Structure 1
Amino acid sequence: MRPFRIYLLLLICATLFAAWPPTPRQEPGLPVLDELLPHIAQVPQRPRVLGYERDLFGTGWAPAGGCTVREATLADAGGHLSDCRVTGGTGTDPYTGDPLNLGRQVEIDHILPLSAAWDLGAHRWDRARREAFANDPLNLVATSRAANREKSDHLPTGWLPGDRGAHCWYARRLALVAATWEIPLPADELAAMRRACQPRVPGGDWLGLSPDH
């Protein structure tokens, strides 16, 4: 076989390997997407409701285990605590898959953003319910400052984790939060969540199947 043909064959193999989906992220006990979607009401689109302010969901983190929900979230991610201060520890960023230094440049992200929840019905909640939602560990993850800022208040049509293996996990966690708190989701977001849980073949084509089955 000529050198160029060998090079071409190796290049094709490398391309196919790179296109193959990575190992999906696992979270024991997390329901599959198909079990969650029937419990989520659908709305045509995300409305924009005036009046959102972060303080409407509480002025700080709620107490948890003698510290706060923030410290508890960092501890769950692998952080080392001393007198409710994070002194170090390394975890894995759930959005990028990269190592995460839990002692610095780490932020706590709401998987279902507070402003999105406001638009989709939380503006009608009382303050106690909004504060409980903002401090629900189910809706919280420790992530890098860069990933948190990139995600902002987007839902899946505007943002997906940089780690492709986390796409379905993210869709399922988002669905679980929405179902638990009875927050409806727009039709296009639900469609994006379904796509996030469909496997691909090399080259990026959808198989039209769900890994949940």
Structure 2
Amino acid sequence: MSVRPHWVESLSSADEAEAVALRKTLQRVGSGFEFAVHRVAADVDSVGEAHHRAVLRLLCDEITAAAEHYRQEVIARDPSVAAAFGSPLKFDVGAARATPLDAAAVIAAESFAPLHRIAHTRDPATVSWFEWFCAAFGDPPYRLQVADETERAQLFPRFCRCTGLLPGEGIVALDWVGDPEREPERSMWSDYFDEGKEWWGIWCLTVWNPRRRTLAAMIASQTD
């Protein structure tokens, strides 16, 4: 487990409450996206790749701990299933290589329909990474189990607000896995991504929002 850096501060009580509530919502509706948001101390003049990597490591540690807790709980109930789990989940964040994403591609999340789809309808070369991200968020392998269409429409805008993934705020976004078909080596730093490579895709981003002084990490990898 990595140590929380000294420059990582807690969110305001309101922002922390919203982050906790959103995580619970994403779990309830069956979203595969996991995230964490931290506030960067005011005395940090320049946020660089090392800061991004540090918050990504914190998120990966959380995921590892949760997966191990779940594994131990299941095995305690039925020891015969231990072999089915295989090796514990591992992340080698130090081996991950970051590439910057075009912040200009980020637009208001409300610009996209809740079930925004791109596959087989557009030339992939004309689609921005943010639009792909929106499509993946709203259309996971298993349909989101939302309470109603209003909740569906609010999910992606809510996620973007919470993580600071917003237009016009000078964000810096880094991608840590790339396209698994064109750059398979970039996601080899964790077997967490293996399932998503089957067809749905993989995501691993960090986002610095200087206006809000938040640094967020988000990750997803799913299959049916």
TM-score (norm 1): 0.24
Determine which structure has more spread, i.e. the larger CA radius of gyration.
Answer: 1
TM-score (norm 2): 0.23
